[in-house]
Structure formats: C-alpha cells, structure tokens
A and B are shown apart, each in its own frame.
Chain A
Amino acid sequence: MSSASSASPGPAAFWSVADTARRIAAGEITATQVVEAALARIQAIDGELGAFLAVDAEGARAAAAEVDHRRAANVPQGPLAGVPIALKDVLVTRGLATTAGSKILHGWVPPYDAHVVGQLRAAGAVIVGKLNCDEFAMGSSTENSAYQPTRNPWDPSRVPGGSSGGSSAAVAAGLCAASLGTDTGGSIRQPAAFCGVVGMKPTYGRVSRWGVVAFASSLDQVGPLTRSVADAALVLQAIAGFDPRDSTSLDAPVPVFADALTGEVRGLRVGLPQEYFEAMDDDVRAALARTAAALVERGAELVDLSLPHTALALPAYYLVAPAEASSNLARYDGVRYGQRTDAPDLLDMYARTRGAGFGTEVKRRIMLGTYVLRAGYYDAYYKKAQQVRTLIKRDFDRAFRYCDVLLTPTTPTPAFRFGAKATPVEMYQADVFTLSCNLAGLPGISVPCGLTGDGLPIGAQLLGRPLDEATLLRAGGVIEAAVGLGDRHPPGPPGPPGPPVIGGGG
C-alpha cells in the first residue's frame, strides 16, 4: 500500500504493519532505525497533537535493539518484530506508568503486563508509549482526559473522538504503525471513524481483559486501530485467543485473519438496519450510499431489515455501564496505590482522595451507577437493562438469519469541534450507532469510506456474528479498496522525513 519513495512527509511514517515487519526482516531497514524515526516524529508532532501521555523511548530502543540483535543472530522472530505500536493508557504495562487518563492513578507504575501487551511483546512489537484517552475510557472526545486534549490530525480544531482518541490520532498522524484501544460503547470505532483509520472491536471474550483497567466489565473489549484492514487483521491475530486469567475469555479457535482478506464479497448478504439510517449528516448518508453501492457492484446483496430495539440501546447502556463502573472504580481509595489526599479520619480520606482524583464525568457516572444499584432499585434499573440487552441480542440473532454482516454509519456526524457537545447527553448520543454492538457482545469494525466536503473522514461500520471477525475483515477490505482514503493522509505538519531506506526499497 505504501511506496518507499522518500518524498515528504516521510512515507515510512505511513508504512503498513506488514510492510514495516517485512522490510525489517529483509534487512532493508533496522528496527532501531524505524523506532528512531517514530520517536523523532513523535517529538516533532506530538507537542501539538497531544496523542501520547508517555513516550517510552528507552524501552522502545531496547526492544528495537533486541529485534535487530535477534535478526543478526538469525533467531526466529514474531510477525510484528520491530513494528512500533502504542497503547491506550488503560492497558497495564509493567514498569511503565499507567494512568487511565486519570489523576487518581498518577504515578502508579504497574508490576505486570496486560495480556495483550504480553502478546504484542511476544510477537516482537516495539511498544513506543502510552496514549491519551478519556478518563477511565469514559467519553467520546478525549476531552475528559485529566492530562491534556488530543487534536484531530485532520483538523486541529476538532476532537479525535474517544475514548481511544490518542490511539486514533497517533495512528492517523503516522506516529506509530498501529495502536490498541478499548471499546465499551464505541471507543475504538468512533475515534477510528473521526480520524480516518480502521478500528475493530472484537467479539466480547475474543481478547483477554486481563490487565485492562476496567470501565464496564461486561462491555469492555480491546482491539486494534490501524491504517488498513490488513493491519487490523495482523494486530488482532497477535492479541486474540483464550486466556485462562480472564473468566469471560472465549476458548474458541482463532482463524488466520489475514486469510479472510480475499477481496471477494460475491453473494455476501449485507443487512441495512433501517434504525441506523434515520438521523445523520448528509455527507455521512452519501458516503454510506456509495459504500453500499460499491459492495453491490462487487456482487454483494443488500437486505433491508429492522433491529426494533435499537432505540433502547442508549438508555440500557447508560444503566449498565455506569453501574459496573461505579463498582469497578471503588478500588481507587488512596489506600494502596495512586494518589491519596490525607485527612484526619478514614471517611474523610476516601472523600478527599476520590474528590480530588476523579474528574467530573467519572464522578457523574459513579453517582449514576451507585444510584442504579442501590437496594430496592436493582430490578427496576440494572436488571431491566440486562433484559433489554437480551432483546437487543435477539434482534441481532434474527437479523443474522437474513444477512451475514450489517452495514451502518459508525457515527451520525464527522469529528466535532472541541466543546461542541454542551451537555453530557449530547455527548452520549455521539455513540448511538456503536452501543448496541457492545450490549450484544458482537464484533464490529469501522472502516474509512470517504471524506466530507470539509475534508473530514467518514467511517462505515460493519457488525458481524459472534466470533465472525473474519467476515468483517473481508467486507471491510473491499470497502477500503473501493471507497477508502487510499494514500490520503491528514494534512498536518510534515514532520521529519522517514527513515533512510537501505537498498533503495521497493
């Protein structure tokens, strides 16, 4: 997909995962050169962009040197050997500060690696740093980060989406080859759509949550953000699979995802759920129409259908997610780690620590969740919301009798401006198309499908059957080829040129 020309702004910055790994394996370039280029580009651009909360230059250089050393010694390497990857800061990293975008975890250095981090390291990836996000992944714009805003590389006056906004911005701006995000109600797919990258939320249980700072346990899932569908397949391959340390992890065979990218959709039945095409910007509507038409041109079949309980997803989500969050965040009490605000008595210490440590949106959700779970109200709220989840799941089960994937817009609008969502509810509505997928535990992917008249990316969302990420990658690859962004990258500052290419490249 990328060419090795040395023209500004440094195409190496936009090399694909596979290309980077292949070039390093072939000796065209060293892992050290790749990581130095990435670090230099981060240094040059990220002051403005704000994607990284921490850059682990030392760790990244050591990992890259190890890759180069192993290559020199002819030791077999993993499929991601030398590929610079960055992580949303809700993923726990051994020896590298992890904040979840919150002041309350400021200064906490974890003693262990998240499962996905261990998997990436095992595959040879070079972890370059930790990426900004909404505090505890609660938000849709990354504006709720306690540390800094992250800008959208396509338009610095706009948000990158959220909560994995650092992950989408860093990949879009070419600061790393790929990143990991987490998706509880759209937090991978929505920022991917806003930044013009591919974002996949795997089936609930496909990827272990061990070492993922929990927001809403029954909804959270880790997934890749990449510049291509093929890259998404490669990164997903590295992190997917059963992990006995997560009791909700699925013990199911993992296919070779790259094999799914056949470029072929003949006979594929693509469902268009009418509830997802009611309210959206004209540009988004037009892009989706072009996407659907492109699929039909290549032999897919469109199926109009209905997911009748879609309107209930947002209220159900805002009962389940805050309820679980209020419970998951109870551990931040200042006793064992993170920030403590001392006080003469215990209750006061708790109140001051949590009062100072949590931001407004997190407090709002803790209060909402605490209210939802209080004695005597469980049946009316949490249990009712779980029953709604069952109805939503049934909607999907029925839909997948008539189609193989569902095609929807990822978001009703392209990236909005900072401060544009004046109330929490307006912000919540930005996720209206992405929530159902989490409530039902299904896999979903957002693939760029064009730009608005203002040059902002638009995302097409595909939802699939449980454990059928392969079909999403296959259809996503076709959309990417037909209506994707091609070689268009964010206009942003050029940054330093890419690394020198040994042997001229090709």
Chain B
Amino acid sequence: MTEPRELPALLEVWEPVIGLEVHVQLATASKIFSPSAIAFGAPPNSLTDPLVLGLPGTLPVFNQAVLQLALKLGIATSSQIRAKSRFARKHYFYPDLPKGYQISQFDEPLCENGHLDVIIGGALKRVKLQRIHLEEDAGKTTHVGVSSHVDLNRAGVPLVEVVTAPEIGSVEEAGEFMRSLHRLVRWLEISEADMEKGQLRCDANVSVRLRGEDRLGTRTELKNINSFRFVEHAIESEIVRQIRILEAGGRITRETRLWDAERGQSQPMRSKEEANDYRYFPDPDLPPLVVDGAIMGSILRTLPELPSVRFDRYQRIHGLTPGDARTLVSERALADFFDATAAIHPGDRSGRIIANWVLTELLGALHAGGIPIARSPISPATLSALIALVESGTISGKIGKEIFEESYRTGEAPAAIVERRGLQQISDTAVLWEIINRVVAASPKQAEAYTVGGKDGLFGFFVGAVMKETQGRANPVITSDLLRKRLGR
C-alpha cells in the first residue's frame, strides 16, 4: 500500500506519464454483429445465438445502430472520422472468445486525433485521444474451484475503445479523465457506463521518468481497473512501485499487470515475451464501414451541447462559480433543467440565483426522496415563477423556501399557494408602521433599554416581534428601516 504522503515528495523528482485505454459498452438493444439481445444480469448463456456461440458457418452483420452511437462520441471529441474504416480480426485463444478472434479495428479505426476537455481545478484541460475504435466484447469466464464457467451473454456486446495519447501527467488528471468520459458518454446517451456492471472499463499504461527527461520510461500496462476509486489508487500504486525500483537502481520490466482491488496491489500477468501475436488482418466477412454525409448530418443535427462547452458558458454568460458550473454539468438532465429555467426566467441576471435554487433546494429535495432530476415534481416553469415572486418582493426568501417545499409536495403553483395562504410580503409602509407602533408599545421596557440603554441586541427582538405579528410576511428591509425610525436610532 502507498503511504498517503509519500507520492507528493516523490513527484518533485519524478514525473509520471499515463495513457489510458477505456472500453465503453454501447447501449444498443442487440449485439454488434448479430440480432441477439443485450441485457445485464440475464441467466448465463441465455443471450446467445449461433453467431455469438461461434458456430461453424455463421457470419457477422454489422448493426448500424452501433455506428450512430460511436459517431456521437467521435464528433463530441472532435475526432477525425474515417469515411471508410475497417474491421480486423484480432486472434487469441480463450474459452470466452468463441471464434478464436475478436472483431475489432486495427490500422483503419473509425476515429482518430480527437480530444476530451476535462475539468481540473475549475479549469478545462485538454487530453488528446489517439483513436476511438469499434469492437465486440468477449464473454465472461469465472473460475469456481477446479472448473471454469463461460458465460457468452456479454460476447458480441458493442464496445468503443478510447485510447488517449500517453500524455496524462498526474493521477488526478487520469481520474478526472475517467469521470469526464463517463459523464460525456452518459450525456450523449450512448452508454449507461456503469463501472460496476463492466460497462466502462479502464486499462492504464504507466511509466515514470525524471523531471526534465525527454525520453519515456519503460511502461507497464495495468488491467482490470473497474471503479473510479481504483483508477487513481491503482495508478498511484504503480507509480510508487516503479519509482522505488528505479531509485533502488533497478529496471522496469515491460509487462501487463493485473490490479487486485482487494489487496490494493497489482500482480504481473504476462511479460512482453509472452505477449500474444494477434495476427491482425482485415475481416473478409465484413465490407468497409462507410460513414456518409447523411449519417454525419443527422448526428450533427441531434448532438447536444457538450458538458465542457456548458461549463464554460455557465461561467461566462450566467456568472456562475466554477464549482456550481461543474456540479450542474455533472448530469445532462440537471444542466438541461437549469437551462430550461434560465430560458423561461425574465431578465438575464438571475443565473446565480437560479443555480442556487436548483443546486440547494431542488437537488436537496430530490436526493432526500431518491428521485432523479428527470422526474422532478417541480418544473422549470414552476421554479422560475417561484424565484420571480422572491425577486419581485412579493414574498421573502424564507417564505419562498416554504412555498418551494409545499409546491414540491403538492404540485400547487407557487402564486396560488401565496394567494391561498395570504403569504404576500407586506411592503406597505403604512401597514407596517401601524404594526411597529403596536409592537413597540407592547414592550416599553425593551424599547427603553434599546433606545436609552444602548442595548443593540434588542433590535432583533423587535424585528422578530414584527415577523411574528405578520407570520413572516413583513418586508425585512422596510421593517428594519421603519423600526430604526420608530425607536429613534
């Protein structure tokens, strides 16, 4: 295990270089090359057909729905899209790989040279992507005692593999990249990206070098990183392992290591010498994958504004803090809710106030009830109407929160609640003056202690008394004003 404070000291001398290979399962109804259905948690081998089983004579037919989803990611990462990409066979023997090869893409991938902007410390940092290619998932092997069980339900599930340039310079950046990619694929609605279900999986290539050094050190590949927490933990532990070896005068072996989350360390899986020769060649059963202008056009027309763009816009146009902007873009439905509210709301200076209501009152209530934002009982129009009541001084902020709760609970319109319960703020000076006179007259000792005795703390007592008298409806600013006049200081 890594000592928590060990890494920062080591990183003054050493620089880590990280590249990530992330597999994302695409949320299609059927598999990438066959009509077999896809579902998580189905009984073993129930989601198969002759092709998925690799039976003799079966042939793959590409599921065009996969292309739509992959292109969304390609375009969202500003990748170059190949008009003609190619599927290739990648050969290795394993019981959960029914054909003895995986259909993947090799030297002609769908997407190249893209980038993903990740939010680090309130600013955007650009991570370059070497490629995004399509491939089929393998099945799953579990070892029980001396026997092994193969489940081919996952075999043939469509994947995109996103490969970053080996330019990620810190553990934090690697973790943020994973979170940003996770957010993006959910934002684009191309994957559920649930790491626990294996819908998002990460392999990391890690090397270290002395700061100022140009050449890359020998890298190792970490496999089986299957939670966000482990991404950072596994990479950090590997960086420390490598630095320790190098500082002791040793050399790094180029190898693949398997991350063991339970023990919090990685174990060598295979060395470069044992590495598979995948014998890639273009799959003769599949024609080139063609992307024409019509497909590109249809995707460009329907592509949502990206989270990194909104993060920027929320700060520039709506004046939000980086923290609020970041929270809003953590989920597309949440950001959409904010945008819908801001679009309805009169004027364009209320961004911060709207964000505040969305992030505090609304999210608080939703979280408490375990309700997703998409099923919020309060609509953007309702929230805007409520905020407008506060902004116009019709009700106080405090009453506003009460009305929010009631409207959230009952669905009644805020204005109707105000009307029915008579909660309009009292700003009429004549009315307030009369109430203040009554309150002061009722507490002569306190009035004297304040006015003559100089007990400043008693001012709050009178404000409270006025609020009590008006059930909180008194306009607090006007009330304070009038109270000072009445009490003479």
Contacts and interface: CB of A to CB of B under 8 A. Distances in A.
Contacts of B62: 247
Contacts of A346: 95
B43 to A, nearest CB: 17
Interface residues of B, number: 29
Looking at chain A's contact residues, the main secondary structure is: loop
A329 B284 CA distance: 14
A3 to B, nearest CB: 40
Contact of B57 (A213, A330, A375): A213
Interface in B89-136: 89, 91, 93, 95, 98-101
B101 A209 contact: no
Interface stretch (B47-55, B67-75, B327-335): B47-55
A97 interface: no
A111 B58 CA distance: 11
Interface stretch (B275-283, B336-344, B416-424, B448-456): B275-283
Interface stretch (A74-82, A274-282, A333-341): A333-341
B166 interface: no
Given A210-B59, A327-B89, A336 B53 contact: yes
B53 A98 contact: no
Contact of A100 (B56, B58, B277, B284): B56
B154 to A, nearest CB: 15
A214 B56 contact: yes
Contacts of B57: 91-92, 110, 114, 209-214
Contacts of B150: 335
B278 A375 contact: yes
B284 A218 contact: yes
A327 B91 contact: yes
A324 B62 CA distance: 20
Nearest to B35: A245
A245 B150 CA distance: 26
A374 interface: yes
A307 interface: no
Looking at chain B's contact residues, the main secondary structure is: loop
B59 A245 contact: yes
Interface string A89-103: 001100000101000
Contacts of A429: none
Nearest to A208: B59
Interface in A243-267: 244-248
Contacts of B101: 327, 330
A350 B89 CA distance: 20
A337 B287 CA distance: 29
A323 B281 contact: yes
B56 A247 contact: no
B61 interface: yes
B56 A98 contact: yes
A219 to B, nearest CB: 9
Interface in B262-288: 277-281, 284-287
A6 interface: no
Contacts of B54: 331, 336
A375 B279 contact: yes
Interface string B273-308: 000011111001111000000000000000000000
B60 interface: yes
B35 to A, nearest CB: 10
Q: Give the interface centre of A216, A323, A375 by most chain B CB atoms within 10 Å.
A: A375
Interface of B: 50, 53-62, 89, 91, 93, 95, 98-101, 150, 277-281, 284-287
24 contacts: A98-B56, A108-B56, A111-B50, A114-B57, A210-B58, A210-B59, A214-B56, A214-B57, A216-B284, A245-B61, A247-B285, A248-B59, A323-B281, A327-B89, A327-B279, A330-B93, A330-B100, A330-B101, A331-B100, A337-B53, A374-B277, A375-B278, A375-B280, A382-B281
Interface of A: 91-92, 98, 100, 105, 108, 110-112, 114, 209-214, 216-218, 244-248, 323-324, 326-327, 329-331, 333, 335-337, 346-347, 350, 370, 373-375, 378, 382
